[in-house]
Structure 1
Amino acid sequence: MNRNDRAITGLVMLAHSLVHTYEFVFPVFIPLWLSQFGTTEAIVGAIVGIGLSLFGLGAPLAGVLTDRRGSKPLILACLFGMGGSFVLLGLSSTIAGLIGISQLSMSGIAIPTELGVVTIALIVWGVSASLYHPAGLSLITRGVEARGSAFAYHGTAGNIGTALGPLLATILLFFLSNNWRVVALILAVPALIGVAYAVRINVNETAAVSTATDGGTNETESGISSLSEFFSLSKTLLASAFLVVFSIVMFSGLYYRGVLTFLPSLLGDIGIIAPIEFYGRTIEPANYLYTGLLATGVGGQYVGGKLTDRIPVELGLTVGYAAFGVVALAFLPITALGLIPFVLLLALLGFVLFFVQPFYQATVADYTPASVRGLSYGYTYLGVFGIGALGTPLAGAALTYLSLPYLFGLLAVIGGAAAGLSLYLLTAERNR
């Protein structure tokens, strides 16, 4: 890596780790919100769902802004907005007190005013976080020459944040007597420090893409200057092989949310993972296994990133998504074999869940022009986090109205569909 590569890689590692740190802190706060606000899972779930959906729904607009304004300003805005959202969370009680109204009424449902402030904070987080992936991934593919290594380090940083977020929040809550407001204020500090650090970094955002010198169009300049051109370029993208890539990442998002959202409770229901009494306190091994599963994603991200420079990305996708299907089909039978085989399966699940991410990120770069790279990644994360968010209600419906085998059967079908589309891309590429 040259100096510019290292500067870009350091910036995106910082931002990526913080995005996923904050994303996985919210589930730790949810039980406290339920007990302190005296509300229902449906209301809190809807509120949190708003923020998570904006994480994906805002990505196409973030892609357009990336192509027009560059990546670094959006990364700075992302960090500042996420830090500000956690400051807002931490001050939610004070702000609610200043408003002077104890409850808000929405569609006949009474909601504590502080919970309304929490909702605004989650909206701020979702909008801010949606800026990152189109900006960060565009910066890597347009500015870094050693792209595979950058993807590896970038993905590894994201997974460290994914595992560190819930662990850090849990530890802070333990020492601060479950005062989630103070914890939120403490967690705001890394993002605000990150803003101060990122401002000082100088990068060449287009160092890795060619610039036309023969009077032709500069590939790095965006042509998106109006709404009509946005629709025109979107139509062109979705009429190309990128539509297949978009479908693949959509299935990836459905599997990701479908398997992770309810996994902690599912692990707690499995007989081989029983709670442990330790000096009068109950330890839930399922929570630690869940954190461990997320931590194994570090290895998956790193290996996948390194392999994007060594094997066809379509082959990596095919193998990875085929493994999705195999893990889903093997999940329940493996539970009958004992704890060690089951833990190994969980480790494999964590590995492959994140192994595919560098491959589909690199595939987007291979199947789109640099001039609309931001827009391309915007649609990518609309598929992963926007449409992919439907994996949560799909899994919930399967568990509520059907049974556990149906859930994992559905996940196997989703993994198989993604593997089939990836194989189609691989075959088409070889026949080109």
Structure 2
Amino acid sequence: MNANDRAITALVMVAHGMVHTYELSIPIFVALWLLEFSVIDLGIVTLEVTTASLGVVVTVGYGLFGLGALPGGILVDRLGSRRLITVCLLGMAVSFLLLAMAPSVVVITLALVLWGVSASVYHPAGLSLVSKGVVERGSGFAYHGIAGNVGIGIGPLVAATSLLFLEWRTVAAILAVPAVIAAVYASRSDIDPQAATESQTGGGTDSKADTGVESVGEFLAESRTLFAGSFALVFLVVMCSGLFYRGFLTFLPELLSRLEGFDPIPIAALIPETLQSVLGVDPAAGESLAPGDYFYSGLLLVGVVGQYVGGKLTDRLPVEYGLAAGFSGLAVLALVFLPAASLGIGPLAVVGVLMGMFLFVVQPLYQATVAEYTPAGTRGLSYGYTYLGVFGVGALGGTIAGVILEYFNESALFLTLAGFAIVGAATGLYLGHKNGRS
């Protein structure tokens, strides 16, 4: 990587890690909100605070995180990636400061809405910046993904550990500080956001490199152009990835809790009696650790390796066939997950490690595929559609998984997940054959 590649990669790694740290720290607070608040006062009606009502509150923020990616992509092409990354970081910081001061669930909802809107612009902005500014694009995507996985795995653990010693409002306020620092860094970073595009075109740009979408009519026209070509198949691939991702992870901790060897472990059993009173541990309280949660976090952390491997593969083989291989691996692992679980923790751990890798191998591959199949000038719009598919349509994976588990069984769920992966693999093979990749 040259100096500009490294500068851009460092910027997007910091921002990507922040986005997913905040995303996965929110559920840590939910259990505390259930204890602290009893009603949601909407003025004309009062609702009881339950897991269902708080689930709706959190879903609003997460929903905007996905739905906002499309308008975010349009803004990227008009305003530039670095500016939007800075706004994203500042918006997330303000949202967590508002969360820290929230006197009610209504204000918590407003804070999560602000977080969702702010975070939604990141993926089209960050990925567009890598695709147009980093010459070694595959490595840039790999490091970008690694940082996201670190945020996914470490963020919730940091929040949960901090809550052992601090009140949740204090933790929320502290979490806002790194985003402010990162925003200052983003605004002052010295980067050339068009370096890769210029090098590929001999110092010029493609026909859409400097324009972007300027009107509703042009948005509709560019969207039709994108989906009239091979991008429609790329969009199918990213939807398969999102559906598999949410469908597998949403209920994984609950599924693990049913398995032998994942029974809750009393915290008092892990701490010597002489330290229990010092640490405020009451054996009679029945507090326990859930081994499945740590298996879940470990699986997400293993994704760091998957992101790195996937990014390197984009520089070494046609991305279409990389996608086919990655999704094929996911299909096989989905089919053997439950049989491995029946054999014990050891075989399940092996399958879990492989699942964590393959789950994230495909991400830099489809990110690079989007760059291959779209013009630079509408790259932000393209990534907006991409993350509308991954986080928006993909969010339905959780609903699909819940319905299957409610009315059918675990085997049906994993067969469905394998089906998503097979569709993704077949689409990758078709794209490679269609475009004459060898």
Return 320-329 or 14-23, whichever deviates more: 320-329
Residue equivalent to 2:106: 116
List gaps (5 residues or longer) in structure 1. 94-113
> Deviations for 1:69-106, whole angstroms, at most 9, x for unmatched residues?
1100100010001111110110102xxxxxxxxxxxxx
TM alignment of 1:350-369, pairs within 5 A: 350-369=356-375
Residue of structure 2 aligned with 1:265, choices 254, 274, 284:
254
| 1:92–1:118 contact (8 Å) kept in structure 2 | yes
Residue equivalent to 1:236: 225
Residue equivalent to 1:77: 87
Residue equivalent to 1:191: 179
| 2:198–2:205 contact (8 Å) kept in structure 1 | no
TM-score, normalization: structure 2? 0.91
Question: Are 2:140 and 1:139 equivalent residues in the alignment?
Answer: no
Q: What amino acid is the match of 1:209?
A: T
Residue equivalent to 2:169: 181
1:213–1:168 CA distance, 2 compared to 1 (3 A): closer
Deviation at 1:65, TM superposition (A): 0.8
Residue equivalent to 1:35: 35
Q: 2:228, 2:416 → 1: CA distance? A: 28
Q: 2:245, 2:203 → 1: CA distance? A: 45
Return 29-38 or 213-222, whichever deviates more: 213-222
Question: Are 2:226 and 1:226 equivalent residues in the alignment?
Answer: no
Residue of structure 2 aligned with 1:283, choices 289, 300, 304:
289
Residue equivalent to 1:200: 188
Q: 1:55, 1:120 → 2: CA distance? A: 14
Deviation at 1:214, TM superposition (A): 11
Question: Is the partner of 2:429 in helix, strand or coil?
Answer: helix
Q: 2:263, 2:293 → 1: CA distance? A: 11
Residue equivalent to 2:342: 336
Residue equivalent to 1:58: 68
Q: 2:188, 2:380 → 1: CA distance? A: 23
| 2:243–2:390 contact (8 Å) kept in structure 1 | yes
Deviation at 1:431, TM superposition (A): 6.5
1:408–1:131 CA distance, 2 compared to 1 (3 A): same
Q: 2:94, 2:249 → 1: CA distance? A: 27
Question: Is the partner of 1:430 in helix, strand or coil?
Answer: coil
Q: 1:323, 1:214 → 2: CA distance? A: 40
> Deviations for 1:264-318, whole angstroms, at most 9, x for unmatched residues?
1111111222222324452221111111011000000011111110011111111
Q: 2:344, 2:3 → 1: CA distance? A: 50
Q: 1:365, 1:121 → 2: CA distance? A: 33
| 1:210–1:219 contact (8 Å) kept in structure 2 | no
Residue equivalent to 1:91: 101
Residue equivalent to 1:157: 147
Residue equivalent to 2:55: 45
Return 217-226 or 195-204, whichever deviates more: 217-226
| 2:141–2:364 contact (8 Å) kept in structure 1 | yes
The two structures, once aligned, show a CA RMSD in angstroms of: 1.7
Residue equivalent to 1:96: none
Deviation at 1:331, TM superposition (A): 1.2
Deviation at 1:152, TM superposition (A): 1.3
Q: What amino acid is the match of 2:326?
A: G
| 1:159–1:297 contact (8 Å) kept in structure 2 | yes
TM-score, normalization: structure 1? 0.92
Deviation at 1:36, TM superposition (A): 2.2
Identity of aligned residues (%): 53
Residue equivalent to 1:324: 330
1:430–1:48 CA distance, 2 compared to 1 (3 A): same
